[in-house]
Structure 1
Amino acid sequence: MKISVRNLEPTKVKLTVTVDPEEFDPYLDQARKEIAKQVNIPGFRKGHVPGAIIDQRIGFAAVAGEAVNAGVPDLYSKALEEKKIRPMAQPEIDVQEVPESAKDETKLKFVATVERRPDIELPDLAGMEIDVPKAEISDDDVNKRLDALRQRFGTLVGVDRPATKGDFANIDLDAQIDGESVDSQEGVSYELGSATMLDGLDEALEGLSAGEETSFEGTLEAGDHQGEKAMIKVKVNSVKAEELPDLDDEFAQEASEYDTLDELKADIRKSCERDAEARQATDARDAFLAKLQEGLEIPVPKGVKADATAEHLKGLTADSDKATAEQKKEAEESAEKELRDQIVLDALAEKMEVQVSQADVTNFLASIAQQYGMDPSQFINAIVSNGQLGSAVQEVGRSKGLLAGMRAVTFKSEGKELDLSAFLGSEEEAEESESVEAASAAAAVADELSAE
């Protein structure tokens, strides 16, 4: 197989692959066998028709078409591996030449254009030190959690006064455009100051008492008239204030397993400390990735970036066509950072010679299924049948590469070395996993089961 590579862009290549007959013949033979299973030819048992008869009766063009469909993806993968090209998107493939008969010496030739991962040289990890902010908590952190716990045990009590921030108002809403009602809701409970409904509602309700009403202009955020200006009429049915329990031992006994308020506070402080340590580990990860990218030029594939930007934009606005310039900029910047991080993590996984096991992938997919409340077995089967197992293997590889890389460097905070083993695990645990070949073998079995 002859492979020529032409760089179109720093992150885009065109591969021209010319396949020798002896490499293409096995795909032709397999195509003949598959066709023989599907046709009835007098004088031959189904599935036992000689290849020459298949060529004669069915036509070599049909055989070659089947062989190309099966062989080109396989040959393309081999070409990528030989030329050390790491694709980041699906290729555009153009089959240019195919033999027209069994005796035709024309070689199969196809061109594949694909966006690729750029080649980057990561810094040496040996001796690398990274500073991370100290994991600190304050009395305010403890008090905020204590207040949140009090709110869970709070009660709403009706008050005979104007509504203010923090109160809960029961309201009726009627949205009108050109004097015609287009949407209305009754008996809605709304917390003043939460800003969870229409813009301008908080300001309109402030100072109103039960039985009073007002109107304001706002932009509808849902329904058939989403995005349109409307006159919003709002009526206050009742106003309730939140009454919180006293902070004492009795509250501690009701809200927790502890007998005293001091014991409850001590437990909350420990929880805050654990969360602060987790945030510190996240800061360490971000600082590590930033350190790896220092001084590196990392070009991002244009097509991949455009697709990623579109996905990020969906998370910022319900209608991408109406996105603001600021939203588009935010989506583009987020997509570019995400892709740069992925490129670095893929390179890091290779540098650390990471291996992905069958158990790694299964556990990864099972954890995702649990997060979404799905049956793990059904979720994994769906991933396999949709051809997404490769992406899962890649994600696991990135995660393992990141952990291995972070274990190889030293993190410090205020001059003292940090112990992040609780978050990074140990090298011994990583070495216990099976090889990526085991994961691939499991994928092949799963593919067969899905097909059946």
Structure 2
Amino acid sequence: MSVKSCEKVEKSQVALTIEVGAAEFEAAVEKAYRKLRRKINVPGFRPGKAPRKIIEGMYGAEVFYEEAINIAFPEAYEAAVKEKELQVVGYPTVELEGECTKEGFTFKATAPVYPEVTLGQYKGLSAPKDEVKVTAADVDERVKILQDRNTRLVSVDREAKEGDTAIIDFEGFLDGKPFDGGKGENHSLELGSHSFVPGFEEQVVGMKAGDEKDIDITFPEDYHKDLAGKAVVFKVKVHEVKEKEVPALDDEFAKDVSEFDTLKELKADLKKKITEERQKDADRAFEDALMEQVAANITADVPDAMVEGQARQFLENFKAQIAQQGIPYDQYMKMTGMDEKKLLEDAKEPALRQVRLDLALAAIIKAENIEVSDEEVEAEFQKLADQYGMDLEMVKKYLQADQVKDQVTTQKAVAIVVDSAVATKPEKKEDEGEKKPARKSSKKTEEAGEGEEKKPARKSTKKAEETEGAEEKKPARKSTKKAAEKKEDEEPAESK
């Protein structure tokens, strides 16, 4: 193999003209013969036993050339890439140049390569940053979550009213015949939750244990096509009516739901945690805004292959999210009428932003000569173990040291940008009139008494596993650990 030329072309591509000589081609032809001989019938010979010369005499010397080219190409291409020290980021397009003879052949391979990146400004940037405020109403909202979580349902012997939970059997009939998904037994229905078809819950109000009733309902026009706009009858039987027994907000409540002895101490702790959560959100948003500027400031001829690869990764992440919800991907696509080509097309814009961000981070790491010691890698392993409540050795089983090293390296690059940046006051929106309630945390806390789970570091410049959706609109940060939130099952046909 010899590289006759290596030329740069547009979109960060390199065109290699590669010649495969007689000796290499002869070896490839022999391999092609051994691979194909069983498929060629030669009178007087058992399958696979006919000598190469006999086959070539019958069908021509070129009979094995096409397969020989396919055999010789990969090795010759990889050798050329290695010789020219190219960082290829996608598959090449290949075309044969001239005729293929026993002396060999020449081909041209055009491959996308890692682009040259020129950093723009990445130090001394500015971006708006929210001032963190926590009001008494914010704290009361968290206390209310704890109160709701500790509210019990107790059985009552009276007519059901809004806010109660009715335990019911129901079956829906269309034109006197039961329809699919319209039946349930011992179903807990919170009256006023609007989880059923409009008009259903309102007619259960007033019923009590043992009552049976026919409920007339007309499905909305935008409901499932089989029932849209149809008038149906639900036969309903109430087994039990339950009301909420709400605990009083006092010191005893604080003792029951936390490690504190007084409600005042509990509220003080909740205020501290809400403040920490919102500060992390503000810091994160500030960091995102800065890194978007850094990515926009670079000069790079980004190859399409990198963008397409990232878009495909977004799609794979989206598929993983659907799988985590227990829904087959094909079924989900059919149910929603979504098209994979459209998903990939829509993902290209955020994919380009993600690729530019990765390129910018890699360029900063190179420009700043950022290095990470073994001690820093070990400390990051320990941090992850503490963060997720896992044994250190177990974390090391799931994550390779190189992954963690990349993560720490990227964190250092981001820190250089953030530490040199200036936070500005967010502009007041024109339509902002009266003082609005403080912004809610972007993360719903599973336990109101617990602090926000620490967020993983920004993704490294190497490909990492994540579960961002294909339609993301911002460059995705890749976590070192997947956190799968299980979605509640959908209601049957009776639900909205």
The TM-score normalised by the length of structure 1 is 0.59
Higher RCO (C-alpha under 8 Å, 6+ residues apart): 2
Contact 2:120 2:299 in 1 (8 A): no
> 1:408 is paired with a residue of what secondary structure?
helix
Alignment of 1:126-205 (within 5 A): 126-159=123-156, 160-164=158-162, 166-176=163-173, 179-183=177-181, 184-192=183-191, 194=193, 200-201=197-198, 203-205=199-201
C-alpha separation between the residues in 2 aligned to 1:204 and 1:328? 41
C-alpha separation between the residues in 1 aligned to 2:332 and 2:348? 18
**Higher alpha-carbon deviation: 248-257 or 290-299:** 290-299
**Higher alpha-carbon deviation: 398-407 or 124-133:** 398-407
Q: 2:294 aligns with which of 278, 289, 292?
A: 292
Does 1:206 find its partner at 2:175?
Answer: no
C-alpha separation between the residues in 2 aligned to 1:275 and 1:332? 35
Taking structure 1 as reference, are residues 250 and 216 closer, same or farther at Cα in structure 2, changes over 3 Å only? same
AA at the equivalent of 2:125: M
Contact 2:361 2:414 in 1 (8 A): yes
Contact 2:125 2:422 in 1 (8 A): no
C-alpha separation between the residues in 2 aligned to 1:175 and 1:234? 6
Contact 2:312 2:344 in 1 (8 A): no
C-alpha separation between the residues in 1 aligned to 2:95 and 2:260? 73
Alignment of 1:244-393 (within 5 A): 244-293=246-295, 301=304, 303=308, 307=312, 319-320=332-333, 323=336, 336-353=349-366
Cα displacement string for residues 285-340 of structure 1 (whole angstroms, at most 9, x for unaligned residues): 22113323557899894855875786688679964356479x99999666622541
> 1:3 is matched with which residue?
6
C-alpha separation between the residues in 2 aligned to 1:300 and 1:217? 55
> 2:416 is matched with which residue?
407
AA at the equivalent of 2:91: P
Taking structure 1 as reference, are residues 404 and 186 closer, same or farther at Cα in structure 2, changes over 3 Å only? same
Contact 1:345 1:402 in 2 (8 A): no
> 1:229 is paired with a residue of what secondary structure?
coil
Alignment gaps of 5+ in structure 1: 36-54, 382-388, 416-421, 426-432, 437-452
C-alpha separation between the residues in 2 aligned to 1:99 and 1:321? 49
C-alpha separation between the residues in 2 aligned to 1:263 and 1:254? 13
Contact 1:137 1:273 in 2 (8 A): yes
C-alpha separation between the residues in 1 aligned to 2:456 and 2:317? 29
Alignment coverage as a number of residue pairs = 364
Alignment gaps of 5+ in structure 2: 35-51, 57-63, 323-328, 426-453, 463-496
Taking structure 1 as reference, are residues 208 and 328 closer, same or farther at Cα in structure 2, changes over 3 Å only? farther
Does 1:18 find its partner at 2:14?
Answer: no
Taking structure 1 as reference, are residues 304 and 414 closer, same or farther at Cα in structure 2, changes over 3 Å only? closer
Residue identity over aligned pairs, in percent, reads 20
C-alpha separation between the residues in 2 aligned to 1:335 and 1:190? 44
Cα displacement string for residues 138-188 of structure 1 (whole angstroms, at most 9, x for unaligned residues): 212211211111222210023434442x44332334355663422222112
C-alpha separation between the residues in 2 aligned to 1:246 and 1:406? 47
C-alpha separation between the residues in 2 aligned to 1:313 and 1:156? 38
Contact 2:315 2:343 in 1 (8 A): no
Contact 1:97 1:106 in 2 (8 A): no
TM-fit CA distance, 1:247 = 0.9
TM-fit CA distance, 1:100 = 7.1
AA at the equivalent of 2:150: F
> 1:130 is paired with a residue of what secondary structure?
strand
After superposition, the CA RMSD in angstroms is 5.6
AA at the equivalent of 1:208: V
Contact 1:248 1:260 in 2 (8 A): yes
AA at the equivalent of 1:3: C
TM-fit CA distance, 1:110 = 4.5
TM-fit CA distance, 1:3 = 2.7
C-alpha separation between the residues in 2 aligned to 1:153 and 1:305? 45
Contact 1:170 1:190 in 2 (8 A): yes
Taking structure 1 as reference, are residues 163 and 207 closer, same or farther at Cα in structure 2, changes over 3 Å only? farther
Taking structure 1 as reference, are residues 403 and 172 closer, same or farther at Cα in structure 2, changes over 3 Å only? farther
> 1:91 is matched with which residue?
91
Contact 1:345 1:401 in 2 (8 A): no
